[in-house]
Structures are given as C-alpha cells and as structure tokens.
Structure 1
Amino acid sequence: MQTEVAQVLAGKKALIVGVANDQSIAYGCAKAFRAAGAELAVTWLNDKARPHVEPLTKELGAEIVAPLDVTRPGELETVFDLISERWGRLDILVHSIAFAPKEDLQGGLLDCSAEGFAKAMDISCHSFIRMARLAAPLMTEGGAMFAMSYLGAERVVPNYNVMGPVKAALESACRYLAYELGPKGVRVHPISPGPLKTRAASGLKDFNLMLNEAASKAPLGELIDIMDVGWTCAYLATPFAHRLTGDTVYIDSGASIVA
C-alpha cells in the first residue's frame, strides 16, 4: 500500500495537531501523510507531553516541531508564524484534539457545569475555527482540513455525555467552513472514526463496553485502527477527492449504518 501511494502527496505541507503518543489518531494521520510524500509540521501539548512526542517527530522526519496548547494566548499564532516563515504555505491541516474536565465528562449532561461545557467547546470545537482562520490564507493553492468527531455527535452514545453536543457543534462548524472556504479550493472534512483505544478515550466511563459493542455490530466485524483513519484522510487530501467536502466521513467498519 505504501509503495502505491508514496508520491501522491509529494511536496504537500501538512500540519498535524494532536499527536500525544504512538496510539493517537493524529499519529496515524501523520504516518500516512508522510508515507504518501507529505512534509510534516507536528506539535506537542506541553513539556509533559514532549518526551512522548519528540521521538515520533524524529521518526516521521517532521520539518517543523513546536509546542501548542490552544488555551494559551499566542501559541497558535506562533505555530502558524513558523509555518509561514519556513514553508510560506500550507496544504493540509489535521485538528485532532478534544478535552472536557473529568468531572463534567463523567457526569450526565444535566450535571455539566457551565465552565466545563465552555472549556470543552473551546478546546474541542472553537480551536478548529481559529486554526482554520490562520490556515486558510496559507492555502494559496487550495487544501484540505480535517477535524476528528465521533458517532456521539449524531446519536446518543451512553456515557459520551457533554462531548456529544460539543462534537455536534464541531461537525456543524466543519460544514459552515466547507461552505465559506469552498470558493478558495479548501475542503473541510469532519472525520468520525469508530471507538479506538486512545489516551483521550480512556477518560470515558465504560469505554471497553463501547469497544465491544462497536465490534459486535459492525458489518465487517472488527474494530478500526489509527492507520485506517490515517489512510482515509490521506486519500481525502489528494486530488482524487477534490470534489468531496463538508460531509462527515465514517471510518468504523460500517458500525454507524446499523441501528
């Protein structure tokens, strides 16, 4: 597979936000883009995350590496300044970050605090809009933006709680951005992977039950992995998908079609 797609993204510049370790969805995307020939910029959250992410950036041959906490004023702008100075343009943006305070995530929506809801919305949704605002001027030859969602945005998934409404807002934001950026040749893709064993997912109550249910109901009878997401996003970033934008793309072995 890698030989067949090795040059499909040759020369393309991709910013990957959300790599936490070698099990994260963002890492799968970074590996797929790199295998397809793209040049990478990769961020880590903070000093605590850096030792886990920095070796991966070296493995991937990332040309630009930097810290990025979207809640810290100026850090997002600094990353895009680096990209502008080093590359002068951007072709691909991957937003794969989400957060809600544990007490708000593990309680029901009725019990979610206003502060917790606002923080989840800011980090998990509005930060993508802020990134898109900075990325769009650099996508002078068009481009592709990706944001990671989940089935809980569309249907009630027990224990997904506050993240359901937040991811619904993210998917809606993607549609509106696809509409606004379409005339510039920029495509926006909300991606909805099936449940994966990532560090972020570990904060969900009864997550193993979600994994088991997803595998049992999927027509293909198995869970996905991070490279399934990565290869799909790599395809969507190529000219082969140049007329696709805005619609949520489900990568879940077909589980989402089963009631």
Structure 2
Amino acid sequence: MPLLEGKTALIFGVANDRSIAWAIAQALAREGAHIALTYQERMERFVRKLAVEIPDTTLIPCDVQDDHQLEAAFAQAAEIFDGGLDILIHSVAFAPRQELEDPFRNTTRAGFQATMDISVYSLIAMAKYAVPLMQARGGGSILTSTYVASEQVIPKYKVMGVAKAALEGSMRYLAGELGEYNIRVNAISPGPLNTLSARGVSGFTNFLDIFTNRAPLHRTIEQDEAADAALFLCSPLARAITGEVLYVDAGYNIMGV
C-alpha cells in the first residue's frame, strides 16, 4: 500500500520543472497523495503545463503576500479535499536581486521586509489557515525548505541567509505550538540545486564546485533526493519527528574548514 494513500497535500512554490516543490509534488503523488498546487499569476502557464503530469491535480491561484488570497486558497483546498488537509508544503523564497548583489550592510529596509515577508512570514500565515483543516483529519505535516546559509556565511546569499535563519526559528516555534494537535512541522535543508531562485544568486556555479570538493560524498544532489527526504518527513514513517531540520546535502553541513 502506498505510504500516502488517501492523504491530501497542498503545495506552494512550484515555478518550473526544476523547482524543489515540483519534485516533492511528484514524490507525494507517487505514494498516493491527492495534490493541489498553488501558483502565482506570472507562473500560471508553467505550472499548468506541469500539473497535467499528475492526474487529478487541482490548481489554485495565490499570491502569498496577500492575506485574502491565502485565505481563499485554503478555502478552495478545503472544498477540494472535503474539509481536511494532511500535508502542507511551503517552498517559497524570494529576495530582491539588488539585495543579493550589494554588500550586506547596504541591505535596504524595503528589501529586508520583502524578503522576510515572502520567505518567512508566509509559512506562519499558511500554518494559521492549515491548522483547522489538519485538525479535521486528526493531525498533519507541515514542511518547509531551508538552506545551510542559515548558520554559515555563504557569499552572495546575504539577506536570504538571514531569512532562512528566521524561517528555521519559525518552524521550531510552530512545531512547539502545534504538537498538541498532532501537527508536525519540519524542514529539509538541501544542498545547492539548479532552481530558479538559486540562479538569482551570483557566483552560484562557482559555489557548486566548492560544494562538490568539500562534501563527504563529493557530489551535488538532485531534486528527487530532496523530494524523497520530504516524502519521508510527511509520511507516517516520521510520525515522531517534529521541529527538525533534515540535511540533504551529501554531508556538506558536517564539514569544518
């Protein structure tokens, strides 16, 4: 029997076929989950093209900076999933390009606020709407995606690294609060992947070479490896795990100088 037979999953963050969120959607569907994907208006045609690959996938428009759209997205998910939700995937991150190019000390107030709002607060806002739907199912799993730049200085990552640190803190506070409802909250921390957001970081290609040399397995990772880790954390196999960051980075995070 598939691990997620009869389960429902709402996924935020699919932009194209290289997105971690898309790989996760495929992994969850492979194990029997009924999938709904959200999309930004500018990404609709890309997401629609992908969605046909997973039968019975529903598409829901949503801008995570708009509380009304977030509320409407979860209301639509509730209709699709008969009032309940088992899995919420938060794979959303953004920083204005200039904030990643200028010195960190020159981070603007507006850029900082936009980065934190989209990359961090969106998880908190989603959790608020997800909780009653997960309570209706007797519990659930919320998963976000972080990066080792939350605790190490990664050149060029700058304000996004600070956002990832805040994201991990938010994940832990949500895990501590939602455990009484049998809702688990975790994060995966993949190694560098060739995603739309990663390509926005200058020097990304050079960092891949550094990563490969330093990681114990001496290789980068693939989207499906991150997705399989996500599948594990969202499945009954991880039923006693919450508030954790699971590194999927070929061991890079354990290495010193």
Class of the TM-score when normalised by the shorter of the 2 chains: over 0.9
Q: Which residue of 1 aligns with 2:233?
A: 236
Q: Which residue of 2 aligns with 1:246?
A: 243
Q: Does 1:16 align with 2:11?
A: yes
Alpha-carbon shift at residue 62 of structure 1 (Å): 4.3
Q: Does 1:99 align with 2:94?
A: yes
Q: Does 1:39 align with 2:26?
A: no
Aligned counterpart for 1:189 among listed residues 173, 186, 189: 186
Alpha-carbon RMSD across the aligned residues, in angstroms, is 1.1
Does the 8 Å CA contact 1:108/1:162 hold for their aligned counterparts? no
Q: Does 1:200 align with 2:197?
A: yes
Provide structure 2 residue ranges, at least 5 long, that are not aligned to the other structure. none
The AA in structure 2 aligned to 1:132 is A
Task: Extract structure 1 runs of 4+ deviating beyond 4 A.
Answer: none
User: Secondary structure, in 3 states, of the residue corresponding to 2:241?
Assistant: coil
Alpha-carbon shift at residue 51 of structure 1 (Å): 1.2
Compute the TM-score of the two structures, normalised by the length of structure 2. 0.96
Does the 8 Å CA contact 1:124/1:166 hold for their aligned counterparts? yes
| CA spacing shift, 1:116–1:62, aligned 2, 3 Å | farther
Count, aligned residues: 253
Compute the TM-score of the two structures, normalised by the length of structure 1. 0.95
User: Secondary structure, in 3 states, of the residue corresponding to 2:189?
Assistant: strand
Q: Which residue of 1 aligns with 2:168?
A: 171
Percent of residue pairs identical = 41
Q: Does 1:144 align with 2:138?
A: no
1:58-69 to 2 correspondences below 5 Å = 58-69=52-63
The AA in structure 2 aligned to 1:59 is E
* C-alpha distance in structure 2 between counterparts of 1:136 and 1:222, whole Å: 38
The AA in structure 2 aligned to 1:100 is A
Q: 1:202-221: per-residue Cα shift (whole Å, max 9, x none)? A: 11010011111111111111
| CA spacing shift, 1:245–1:73, aligned 2, 3 Å | closer
Alpha-carbon shift at residue 55 of structure 1 (Å): 1.5
Alpha-carbon shift at residue 73 of structure 1 (Å): 4.1
Provide structure 1 residue ranges, at least 5 long, that are not aligned to the other structure. 1-5
Does the 8 Å CA contact 1:42/1:62 hold for their aligned counterparts? no
Does the 8 Å CA contact 2:171/2:243 hold for their aligned counterparts? yes
The AA in structure 1 aligned to 2:200 is G
1:41-120 to 2 correspondences below 5 Å = 41-46=36-41, 48-87=42-81, 88-120=83-115
Q: 1:119-169: per-residue Cα shift (whole Å, max 9, x none)? A: 000000000100001001111211111111100001111111111111100
The AA in structure 2 aligned to 1:232 is A
Alpha-carbon shift at residue 86 of structure 1 (Å): 2.0
Does the 8 Å CA contact 2:143/2:234 hold for their aligned counterparts? no
Q: 1:168-191: per-residue Cα shift (whole Å, max 9, x none)? A: 000000000000001111111121
* C-alpha distance in structure 1 between counterparts of 2:197 and 2:56, whole Å: 23
* C-alpha distance in structure 1 between counterparts of 2:62 and 2:212, whole Å: 34
Alpha-carbon shift at residue 72 of structure 1 (Å): 2.9
* C-alpha distance in structure 1 between counterparts of 2:250 and 2:89, whole Å: 22
* C-alpha distance in structure 2 between counterparts of 1:10 and 1:82, whole Å: 21
* C-alpha distance in structure 1 between counterparts of 2:13 and 2:22, whole Å: 8
* C-alpha distance in structure 2 between counterparts of 1:181 and 1:44, whole Å: 26
